[in-house]
Amino acid sequence: MILCDGIGCDGYVWRHLRPALAPRRVVHGHYRGHGRSQAPRRAGCLEIEDLADDAVAILDDAEIGCAVWVGHSMGVQVALEAWRRHPDRVAGLVLVCGAPGHPLRTFHGADTLEHLLPTIERWVVKVPGVVNRLTRNLLPTRLALEIAGRLEINRELVDPDDFMPYLEGMARMDVRTFVAMLAAAGRHSAEDLLAAIDVPVLVVAGGRDGFTPPERSRLMIEQVPGCQGLEIDDGSHTAPIERPERVNAAITSFLGDRIDPQVAHS
């Protein structure tokens, strides 16, 4: 199995899932400029296609031929793009709290972020040092956690120890990389692939997900042949750490029912 993060993430959302997947072999890489991966050496190499190819290189290095791709947020796009570009490396897809394409058009139910992003990019390029200093000082704080609770996450369900690693990782990230990748995700779409996918697929949605509203997940469930779905009614964009028992049970059941029989007969 290979785990594909969202933008600015380096694994926090898999904290409860990883133990539930044992003893399966799981690999998890950090995108360019994320976590322990170096920032990209040149501009223009942060497209979703680049990230999918990087993930396949990780599989090559681990000597894994075919894997189940588990994507969260932007990782959903990465996993779908991997199926487009490297279908022989994809045994199944688990798509969690994400959209198949153009996520900025439906961010909190509007396309405001898509329209604002070019302006944000221009300011970030002008004063990256100032913005980086602000994020490094403000993000890894309890205040940021409480703001996140008001804007997106279900604060009643999220353990601070589960979410603070996300804020800390974001604080370490160069804002130019983050914005460039956000723009790349906004441009990308794999919606044209959905009806042609011929591997087992599970889609997990958060009923109160504002980043990628559940309607985007329902679209995937409707269009992917034989797709299974789970919607966590009170789950937000961080449903895997809000309702880990339900998300983990759905994923492990999917693997046992849809993937393991395939492997046994291959």
Please state which of the ranges 14-23, 131-140, 217-226, 249-258 shows the lowest mean pLDDT. 131-140
Mean pLDDT of 235-254: 98
**Mean predicted lDDT score pLDDT of the chain:** 95
Checking if the pLDDT of 266 tops 70, the result is no
> 77 in helix, strand or coil?
helix
Mean pLDDT of 125-154: 91
CATH number of the domain to which 221 belongs: 3.40.50.1820
In the structure encoding, which two tokens stand for residue 238, read together? 């961080």
Checking if the pLDDT of 20 tops 90, the result is yes
Rounded to whole angstroms, the Cα distance separating 197 from 153 reads 31
The residue assigned the tokens 């492997």 is 263
Checking if the pLDDT of 264 tops 80, the result is no
Structural domain including 122 reads 2-264
Q: What is the pLDDT of residues 176-194, one digit of tens each?
A: 999 999 999 999 999 999 9
Task: List, as one string, the DSSP characters of 229-264.
Answer: EEEETT--TTHHHHSHHHHHHHHHHHIIIIIHHHHH
Identify the CA nearest to 235 among candidates 159, 162, 143, 156. Answer: 156
Q: What is the pLDDT of residues 66-114, one digit of tens each?
A: 999 999 999 999 999 999 999 999 999 999 999 999 999 999 999 999 9
Number of domains forming the structure of the chain: 1
Rounded to whole angstroms, the Cα distance separating 69 from 197 reads 13
Geometric angle at alpha carbon 31, from 221 and 75, rounded to 5°: 5
In the structure encoding, which two tokens stand for residue 216, read together? 């985007």
> 206 in helix, strand or coil?
strand
67-72 and 90-96 strand pairing = parallel
Q: Give the model's pLDDT for residue 82.
A: 98
- Phi and psi dihedrals of 123, rounded to 5? -70, -40
Checking if the pLDDT of 254 tops 70, the result is yes
The residue assigned the tokens 């040092």 is 129
Kindly state the greatest CA–CA separation across the chain: 57
Q: Give the model's pLDDT for residue 44.
A: 77
